[in-house]
Structure 1
Amino acid sequence: MSQPPTLEEIRRAPKVLLHDHLDGGLRPETIIDLARETGYDGLPTTDVEGLRAWFSEASNSGSLELYLQTFDHTVGVMQTRDSLVRVAAECAQDLADDGVVYAEVRYAPEQHTSTGLSLEEVIEAVQEGFRIGSEGRGIRVGTLLTAMRHQARSMEIAELAVRYRDVGVVGFDIAGAEAGYPPTRHLDAFEYLQRENAHFTIHAGEAFGLPSIWQAIQWCGADRLGHGVRIIDDITVQGDGTAKLGRLAAYVRDKRIPLEMCPTSNLQTGAATSIAEHPIGLLRSLNFRVTVNTDNRLMSATSLSGEFSKLTEAFGYGWDDMQWFTINAMKSAFLPFDERLALINGVIKPGFARLKWQA
């Protein structure tokens, strides 16, 4: 192929998204509307473009802890049933408009109960929103219920993930600052999920290093790693350009453990220094099970198409690379095997074949 795909062409590609936070993808105008409707008065500005710029600027701190503070405002306006339905519906619509055919969107139910909603009411409101937003748009959205790693409600959230797994909840996650809050604090929840044959991913190897990844895999049994960027610390590129993998990196690659990488977000939190130097380039060349994701579309001022566009520019990726990343993601989704296969063979491969033929 002589020309790399343009952003508009990439938007037409059938894409799969595994790591996207519901409270990190609100439309600025929706935040302003909901703040007015719910009486939330903490916004830095009520100008749409000004608020959009504020989120982007506040997120470029290089610190995960400061980055997480931007969620005070999004979570602050997501405390009623109507607001949760609206945010979830718009999330599905925005992803579909970006060409996403399957998405797993995560959120922490415990963060949306300050005005009296029960955890069950929160979950049911979000599921209703995803149903409304997905209808007739060629997208399917699965939900990941997240427990906050600095709290002590992981077992409760894990039980809800199992309870609602037949109505759209496809898995479980833990999130929040890694340092000082190892995943082993929630070992009882992970052991419960394994007994129930349930799927889960763990934020690991983003702001903390190899011990976090090792614990997530070997102690907790994670199906996937949220980010996993620091696995690069266990890989040495030698003078002749060849790479030598340490024991943990080799295990992750050999076991095909999916890495949910979010390039722009990783720059903002200091987990990578630039797109061109992001570990995704080396990991792709070494055939790790790498996937491309958005993390928080509002904070990173991004979309899945935007992430692919940046990688295309940095690494010269073409349609075949994009298809490889996309199939990786679909293989790694928390859907039954036959449903994953149907999307790969019936949607993803034909969609990329059309784009390559048109190019």
Structure 2
Amino acid sequence: MSEPTTRATPTRDQVHRAPKVLLHDHLDGGLRPQTVLDLAPGAGHALPADDAESLGRWFEESANSGSLERYLETFDHPVAVMQSAENLRRVAQECVEDLAEDGVVYAEVRYAPEQHLEGGLSLEQVVEAVGAGFAAGEEAARASGEPIIVRQLLTAMRHQARSREIAELVVRYRDRGVLGFDIAGAEAGFPPTRHLDAFEYLQRENAHFTIHAGEAFGLPSIWQAIQWCGADRLGHGVRIIDDITVGPDGKATLGRLASYVRDKRIPLEMCPRSNVQTGAAASIAEHPIGLLKDLGFRVTVNTDNRLMSGTSMTEEMVGLVEAFGYSLADLRWFTINAMKSAFLPFDERLKIIDHVIKPAYAVLGAMS
């Protein structure tokens, strides 16, 4: 089988069939609108719309504010219906099934256990309910001929004070489907350095973690995430572009921080559609991902919040194909970048690259 060397523009069907790897996806940002409708009455929660189509449109329109803070407010509704073990299992299973149908073969899905305790669950019960849902989703995907591996990332909210507790939860469950830690929430006023105790604990325990940085806030948040906290990956990291100057001749000059990020191969979990919604990028065509790819940064493509952005991995990649003229070879590059950057053990990453991603792209390339 030949490598996908052709520069022909891939069709939507080819993009859909191509294997994908997803590192930055929020569980509470990916519910089906119908599921939110189904679960809301039992949770005693009022919604802004009473049919799935209207509700889905409300989420997307509300998220298109250009403000990260307003974008984050849309999570109130899905979080409200995710307060029981039964509901968490359903949401987690449907998440896996939806990703598998979209051609995702490996995903790390994150959520904040501390946001799902209002119904009386413990942190441990939340993690176990989500794990059970992921396992059921993987089994259903295998049965339908769409095998997928999905693991958990546990998030602490950066405006709260439970990060050390969540970090300890990560370590307790790291051999039971939990691969890493994250902090999320509004960046301005809540720097990652507020959570140094958690990061130092994770480093002592040889645990993996990513940090939301360089999305709504600038270079200082990226610098702190890397140099003070020791992040393995950067959630978004889009503002690294502020440390790159492009001259009249088109030549790019990297500042010290941008050079460090590129030299160290620190993965950037980029989410183009979400970044446009929150004002981190003016459009997909103007998103820094194009320049960062050209400069050889470890760029990955992600969905962030499929419900709020009305997106999927297929939609994200098709958007990049349309904006930048990417080929199957480019999409393969993004995909292998992501698999290399996963928190899965090295031998398991290599197995997926060599036995799933490369063969599938070779077939697609031969057919294009």
Deviating above 4 A after TM superposition, structure 1's stretches of 4 or more consecutive aligned residues are none
More relative contact order, 1 or 2 (CA 8 Å, 6+ apart): 2
- Deviation per CA, 1:54-105: give whole Å up to 9, x if none: 0010000000000000000010000011000000000000000000000000
Offset of residue 9 of structure 1: 1.3
CA contact (8 A) 2:214 2:222 kept: yes
Tell me what 2:224 maps to: 215
Q: Equivalent residue for 1:28?
A: 33
Aligned match of 1:275: 284
Aligned 1:1-359 pairs, distance under 5 A: 1=6, 3-40=8-45, 42-135=46-139, 136=142, 137-359=146-368
Deviation at 1:8, TM superposition (A): 1.8
Q: Once the two structures are superposed, what CA deviation does each residue of 1:186-245 show, in whole Å capped at 9, x if it has no partner?
A: 001000000000000000000000000000000000000000000000000011111000
**How many residue pairs were aligned?**
358
| In 2: Cα distance, 1:228 partner to 1:19 partner | 12
Mapped to 2, the partners of 1:9 and 1:298 lie a distance apart of: 23
1:245-293 alpha-carbon deviations (Å, 9 max, x no partner): 0000000000000000000000000000010010000000000000000
CA shift, 1:37, in A, is 2.5
Q: Give the secondary-structure state (helix, strand or coil) at the position aligned to 1:166.
A: coil
Alpha carbons 2:234, 2:269 under 8 Å: kept: yes
Q: Amino acid of the residue matched to residue 350 of structure 1?
A: P
CA contact (8 A) 2:25 2:302 kept: yes
Please state how far the C-alpha of 1:2 moved relative to its aligned partner.
6.2
Structure 1 residue ranges without an equivalent (≥5): none
Question: 2-side partners of 1:132 and 1:2: how far apart?
Answer: 39
TM-score (norm 2): 0.97
User: How far apart are residue 46 of structure 1 and its match?
Assistant: 1.5
Kindly indicate whether the alpha-carbon contact (under 8 Å) linking 2:199 and 2:229 is maintained by their aligned counterparts in 1: yes
Letter of the aligned partner of 2:200 in structure 1? E
**1:150-176 Cα deviation digits (max 9, x unpaired):** 000000000000100001000000000
Q: 1:315 to 1:302 in 2, by over 3 A?
A: same
2:244–2:252 Cα contact (<8 Å) kept: yes
Which stretches in structure 2 are left out of the alignment for 5+ residues?
A: 1-5
In 2, distance between residues paired with 1:2 and 1:304? 21
Could you say what the CA RMSD is over the residues aligned between the two structures, in angstroms? 0.7
TM-score of the aligned structures, taking structure 1 as reference length: 0.99
